[in-house]
Amino acid sequence: DAKTTQPPSMDCAEGRAANLPCNHSTISGNEYVYWYRQIHSQGPQYIIHGLKNNETNEMASLIITEDRKSSTLILPHATLRDTAVYYCIVRGDNAGNMLTFGGGTRLMVKP
Amino acid sequence: DVKVTQSSRYLVKRTGEKVFLECVQDMDHENMFWYRQDPGLGLRLIYFSYDVKMKEKGDIPEGYSVSREKKERFSLILESASTNQTSMYLCATRTVKETQYFGPGTRLLVL
């Protein structure tokens, strides 16, 4: 799996958009970008994934640059409940069964 | 929505006890996984199963066994619990599109 780099922490005001960046400069053509989050003492929660087109679902939007070397997860209206560690993962279909989480970004949503 | 449930959120056991952790999913997924999560070590794969009665060792299977008698249920067994098995245990299930969904986790303390 390609290595990802994320800032260790970020703050966001409640109600504002949270933009979480991820660098994955060694991504290969068949690898997807996945985002998960983990709220304290709970299991990881799937958020969204994409290959090269931007994606949106009820939780978030995923913007992938044209060269695919970086992406941004956008929470359009952050709430206090969105305070969590957010993990960006890059993996392909033949990556086996391991899901490797790096350090992630600790997002603190403040009132 | 995919639902992955684990039998206990918190568990306290004594050294040498046999411990059963159960995971149930309601989405008819073939693939199920058991991970443990420890500070600074991220997620580590213990065992996984790709079909009923089928199981494969992950990266750290020592001291653990698993059982998959029904498609929706995947059990992790600690034959003789030890203090170094104190951890957060996470069950996950996977769709054909490689999206993993996690249960809420079981925090196990072995005294």
Task: Decide if B99 touches A, using CB distance below 8 A.
Answer: yes
d(Cα A82, Cα B77) in Å, to the nearest integer? 33
CA distance A104 to B79: 33
pLDDT computed for residue A1 by the predictor: 55
Residues of B in contact with A91 (CB under 8 A): 98
Nearest-Cα distance to chain A for B47, in Å, is 10
Percentage of chain A lying above the pLDDT 70 cut: 92
B11 lies within 8 A of chain A by CB: no
pLDDT of residue A47: 95
- Asked if residue A105 lies in contact with residue A11, where contact means CB atoms within 8 angstroms, the answer is no
> Do the chains contact at A101 and B42, CB–CB below 8 Å?
yes
Mean pLDDT computed over A81-93: 88
**Does residue A6 contact residue A21 with C-beta atoms inside 8 Å?**
yes
Asked whether the predicted pLDDT for residue B97 surpasses 70, the reply is no
Is B71 within 8 Å of chain A by CB? no
Residue range A78-103: mean pLDDT, rounded = 80
Joined together, the tokens standing for residue A89 give: 């993962």
Which band of pLDDT confidence, cut at 50, 70 and 90, is reported for residue B51? confident
A31: closest chain B residue by CA: B98
Average pLDDT over residues A17-43: 91
Whether the pLDDT of residue B79 is over 90: the answer is yes
Q: Does B91 score more than 90 pLDDT?
A: yes
> Chain B contacts of A93, Cβ < 8 Å?
98
By CB atoms closer than 10 A (0-12, 13-18, 19+), residue B68 is buried
> Which of B96, B102, B89 shows the shortest CA–CA distance to B25?
B102
